Amino acid sequence: MIKILFLCHGNICRSPMAEFVMKDMLKKAGLAQEFQIESAATSTEEIGNPVYPPARRKLAEYGIDCSGKTARQLQNSDYDKYDLLIGMDHANIRSMYQICGGDFADKMHLLMDFTSRPGEVADPWYTGDFDATWRDVMEGCQRLLDDLLKKRGVI
């Protein structure tokens, strides 16, 4: 089983969007049982809060349900628990390093680095543009999944 943890600052917009988009992709591909997908925050600001309403609405537009998800913070022990820790921006990566004490097994990556346009996922908390974030998350998750399937010899 491949275990992936998506991370953003508050775990109410980008990382839960990535979590539920990836779960949806895996379900549609018949691969849900081979993966464990979750998300977390690098901060404590939103702990216990549900997915931000505009992010929830954007997921719902595509038939993706995220009900029951509440924000939690990354723990040092998550480094050993997950195969990949995927951050949405460089600040997330810095915080992930701090919380986990480094990246000794090359598990930490930016989601967009799996695409042809490396960099950061647009943060809708500041931009208000959930469409741009949706496009980044969709592309990043699809390329990450393609990469994992290629490594496993599936495609």
The count of C-alpha atoms lying within 13 angstroms of the C-alpha of 54, restricted to the half-sphere facing its C-beta, is 14
Sheet holding 108-110, edge to edge: 35-41, 2-8, 84-87, 108-110
Our answer to whether residue 131 is catalytic in this structure is: no
Neighbours of 117 (CB within 10 A): 10
Our answer to whether residue 141 is catalytic in this structure is: no
Given the residues 78, 123, 136, 141, the one annotated as active site: 123
The amino acid at 56: R
Our answer to whether residue 100 is catalytic in this structure is: no
- The H or E element that residue 71 is part of is none
| Residue numbers annotated as active site | 8, 14, 123
